[in-house]
Amino acid sequence: MAMKNISLLFEDKLAPLLNTEKGRHLAIATLLLASLILLLTLIEVLMTWHADYVISEHKPPFTNTEDASEMMQEMIARIPSQHLFGQSADDDFLPITSLQLHLTGIIQVPESNLSRAIISEGGQSGKIFNVGDELTSGIKIYAINPDSVVLEHAGHLEKLPLSRSKLLFQEMPKPLW
């Protein structure tokens, strides 16, 4: 009975697809699409194989052990200046700068690069600086915080605090009534 149902399905549904011109065009299009997918897969496999082969046959840039040793020594000598774990901009642990700079004001916009600092150098009038700007040769603004500016000077971070005068209270105010 099941065989009879399958043959009826073939005669009723699939036979017209293969016996009509529209069905033959559909079969050819399906065959062409499958062939195209197979060809693209083969091309991708060959390209991947070639890339792996090129990597495996790559020669080192030096030809003898002396060149390799010199290259390694140079790389090792550069490690301390690379800040492998980043630089800390935590104000609590940064030294206060001894440079002749005076922080006049700060406009700090949290989580944005729109923050500005007004800094005067050597008694001159103040200028407006952004994060990344260079004050004088070798001194860059690393971060702008609400009450200080972090400077990068000679590969080290230093803090330039905002000068504030202390509030002096006299006596307690008297009640109005």
Q: Give the domain ranges of the chain.
A: 2-50, 91-161
- The stretch 117-133 carries a mean pLDDT of 87
Instruction: Report the SS3 class of residue 140.
Output: strand
The model's pTM: 0.45
Cα 118 from Cα 127, distance rounded (Å): 5
CATH 3.40.50.2300 fits 91-161, yes or no: no
Find where tokens 């504030």 sit: 164
Quick: pLDDT tens for 10-69: 666 666 666 778 878 888 899 999 999 999 999 999 999 998 888 887 766 656 677 777
pLDDT tens digits, one per residue of 79-101: 766 666 555 555 567 888 888 88
Distance CA 60, CA 71 (A): 12
